[in-house]
Amino acid sequence: MNINWFPGHMAKARREIEEILKKIDVVIEIVDARIPVSSHNPMMDEVTSEKPKVIVLNKRDMADEDETNKWLSKFRSEGLHPVAVNGRDEQIIRKIEPLAVEATEAMFRKMEEKGINRRAIRALIIGIPNVGKSTVINNIAKRKIADTANKPGVTKRQQWIKAGSRLELMDTPGILWPKFEGEETGRKLSLTGAIKDDVVPLDEVAIYGMNFVLRHDPEAFNKFYSIHVNAASDIVEIYEAIGRVRGLKAGGNEINYEAVTSRIIYDIRNAKIGRYTFDRVGE
């Protein structure tokens, strides 16, 4: 699954980020806790490498808690400043602001040694589409600043946002990198909603998600759909079983396979079956 999806506003946003970084103290990257590596934009590593970084694993309520804790430990060991949040948490600023303070402490101490008083921490917020960035920003600001929608590429312009007592945030559009070389990365991004459904083969995405759940949590899968299958079961048989139970039929008694595909993606994407982390530490 080689996907080329690099709208013009995203290319423009990268150039703008390169310019604004001169005014930035810390980068806050928001990723999806279910795919903390796959939802990280490697293109931005080159641009932001000289800045301390806070990693916000959003949608923690939809991810596997044990895996989230493993990722937090791994990111800390790499010198990053990670935190896992639910973007709708009203106290989210209390979780993010201390990490921004921690990440910039050395810089501000040097400024004070030169006789420069402390000021608000200037933070750049980045993140690919649909990781919940706008929801987090609006919650931090306590008012609607960024547009939100359950689809990628909604935020389009940069803006400064006052947050808490110590932060000034620069929001940026969600940015995807030009090409996904790895098929599995593309499937994970699609399964969690970071890529528009009309640019990927959804049957591959549904089968990937279904196989993942059957490997890691077969009991929950069977209970949710009221069927009896396993990871070795024939895919067509699984589709037909789900279609019969859910009444997803095209005409007569034929199973509507497209409807089953959509149902599987919806159920996994929205954590209806269970909480799963598709990027696993050590894999």
pLDDT in tens, 216-250: 999 999 999 999 999 999 999 999 999 999 999 98
CATH number of 201-269: 1.10.1580.10
Backbone angles phi, psi at 126, to 5 degrees: -130, 165
Q: Which fold would CATH assign to domain 3-179?
A: Rossmann fold (3.40.50)
pLDDT at residue 273 greater than cutoff 90: yes
Distance (Å, rounded) from C-alpha 176 to C-alpha 87?
A: 20
pLDDT at 54: 97
In three-state secondary structure terms, 47 is helix
Residues of the chain with CATH 3.40.50.300: 3-179
- Element (H or E) spanning 181, and its range? none
Please, are residues 213 and 276 in contact by the beta-carbon 8 Å criterion? yes
* pTM as predicted: 0.88
Residues of the chain with CATH 1.10.1580.10: 201-269
pLDDT at 12: 72
Higher pLDDT, 280 or 160: 280
Distance (Å, rounded) from C-alpha 134 to C-alpha 283?
A: 30
Distance (Å, rounded) from C-alpha 158 to C-alpha 173?
A: 7
In three-state secondary structure terms, 249 is strand
pLDDT at 8: 64
In three-state secondary structure terms, 163 is strand
